[in-house]
Structure 1
Amino acid sequence: MTTIPAYKSQFIDHCIKANALKFGTFTLKSGRISPYFFNAGLFHRADLIRSISTAFAHTLADRSDLEFDILFGPAYKGVPLATTTVDKLAEINPEKYGSLSYSFNRKEAKTHGEGGSIVGAPLKGKKIFIIDDVITAGTAIREAIEIIKAEGGELVGIVVAVDRMEKTPAKDGEDESAPRQSAIGQVREQYGIPILAILTLDDVVEFTKGKGTEDDLRRLKEYREMYKAID
């Protein structure tokens, strides 16, 4: 029996049915051999986008201490996540989130009409929460942070679908077994902001204890032990 919240368990179920979360043997971009793989890009059906936006909304709403005016979705994957999660948050708590806005950036600034590089609510003077699928190397999220800064917004946090909780790959000359932070840990430390996730590797392990195979569970635990970040 799992000990994770119901919305997380339901989300993992939906991920598995959509093949967005798979167990097996996968070679990552880093070269590591992972026993699982997550692909949020497969959440393009109505029922699946409803599932992920609901999970995002619960992840944010569970933190009653967080105050923000806008969900910012970096182009392109963050765009549908921001728009649909704003709607779900308003359903969960209309009093708190009924006036919540969304924004996203254009890849190229518009030079005609109203111009600019932002679509949706203006960021200036507003508290901004970034929403995206994952933070891998941290490059894309830092670009989004610079956009928010340039527009005069105040970044107050980031929420992602999955935190793999694993240390960054070793650079040339580094020992792969040496302790290191994760990409999320590096961003959290650099900017001093909370970074939330619908799921962590720990959540996937807990879910697998109740519904997965013994082999999947063993391999997940071994992978976590081998690559766990210090944060």
Structure 2
Amino acid sequence: MVKAVAPAEQALAQAFVKFCVEAGALKFGEFKTKAGRLSPYFFNAGLFDDGAKLGRLAEFYARALIDSGIAFDMIFGPAYKGIPLGAAVAIELARLGRNVPFAYNRKEAKDHGEGGTLVGAPLRGRVLIVDDVMSAGTAARESIALIRAAGATPSAVAIALDRQEKATEVGTDGVVRDVDHSAVQYVQRQLGLQVCAIARLEDLLQYLDGQAGGEIAIHRERVLAYRERYGV
């Protein structure tokens, strides 16, 4: 059963897609994904590369989280992209009157100073993981393991864009194959976490529908064909 999307959520998603295109973080062309697919679009949160863009991005995350009603006690930003994203979202939530602790991890443990891999507030209570996208759910599993090892509860994941496409897995024969669920669905169904996405691939298609006659409208058919081939 497909969940109905409220008009406010649709408006937020459309505004976000427009922002991503204008900021240069959402590009069209031909891009090779981690799964080896040739995608007609590419989302790169690393291109929110100045204070104004990062601040606006944080506003979208905070709005989506508030609208979702997801309950959490603190934010965790997984290395590397999740660190600035999580920090920016924590700042924006505090600006809106919701001040929550923030923590992140290092890829390599520090053997001096305070040591360890975790930095920031102690991991406690219900932890929200903030990242950009999910390709296979691997990063989410690693974050979940860190959070549980610290005695806290991973409760949800917030991402910018849900690509709504089949994940892949490597078989015992070493061959990479498509599976019948997306990374987001895996995290929801198998790992039991809620997922809050600011926008989804279908929101991108809706945005392109509204660009008839515009420069980027020509990409709609290729994005739609990709969705029909790899979508879930």
Superposition TM-score, scaled by structure 1 size: 0.86
Q: d(CA) in 2 for partners of 1:29 and 1:67?
A: 32
Q: d(CA) in 2 for partners of 1:28 and 1:76?
A: 18
User: Once the 2 structures are TM-superposed, how far is the Cα of residue 77 of structure 1 from its aligned partner?
Assistant: 0.8
Q: Is the 8 A contact 2:165 2:231 kept in 1?
A: yes
User: Once the 2 structures are TM-superposed, how far is the Cα of residue 182 of structure 1 from its aligned partner?
Assistant: 0.9
1:33 correspondence with 2:33: no
Q: Which SS does the other structure have where 1:199 is aligned?
A: strand
Q: Which SS does the other structure have where 1:29 is aligned?
A: coil
One-letter amino acid of the structure 1 residue matched with residue 101 of structure 2? S
Sequence identity, in percent? 41
CA offset digits 1:160-194 (Å, max 9, x no partner) = 11110001237568897x76111221122221111
Q: d(CA) in 2 for partners of 1:129 and 1:119?
A: 15
Residue among 52, 77, 82 paired with 2:57: 52
Q: d(CA) in 2 for partners of 1:67 and 1:169?
A: 30
One-letter amino acid of the structure 2 residue matched with residue 127 of structure 1? R
1:140 correspondence with 2:144: no
User: Once the 2 structures are TM-superposed, how far is the Cα of residue 18 of structure 1 from its aligned partner?
Assistant: 2.6
Q: Is the 8 A contact 2:165 2:182 kept in 1?
A: yes
What's the Cα RMSD here?
A: 2.3
Q: Is the 8 A contact 1:11 1:51 kept in 2?
A: no
How many residues end up aligned between the 2 structures? 220
User: Once the 2 structures are TM-superposed, how far is the Cα of residue 214 of structure 1 from its aligned partner?
Assistant: 4.3
Give the equivalent residue in structure 1 for 2:182: 182
Q: Is the 8 A contact 1:25 1:35 kept in 2?
A: yes
Superposition TM-score, scaled by structure 2 size: 0.85
Return 5+ residue gaps in structure 1 as ranges: none
Give the equivalent residue in structure 1 for 2:221: 218
User: Once the 2 structures are TM-superposed, how far is the Cα of residue 144 of structure 1 from its aligned partner?
Assistant: 1.0
Are residues 215 and 170 of structure 1, via their aligned partners in 2, closer, same or farther at CA, if it must alter by over 3 Å?
farther
User: Once the 2 structures are TM-superposed, how far is the Cα of residue 51 of structure 1 from its aligned partner?
Assistant: 1.8
Are residues 67 and 33 of structure 1, via their aligned partners in 2, closer, same or farther at CA, if it must alter by over 3 Å?
same
Runs of 4+ in structure 1 over 4 Å off? 170-176
Return 5+ residue gaps in structure 2 as ranges: 1-6
Structure with greater strand percent: 2
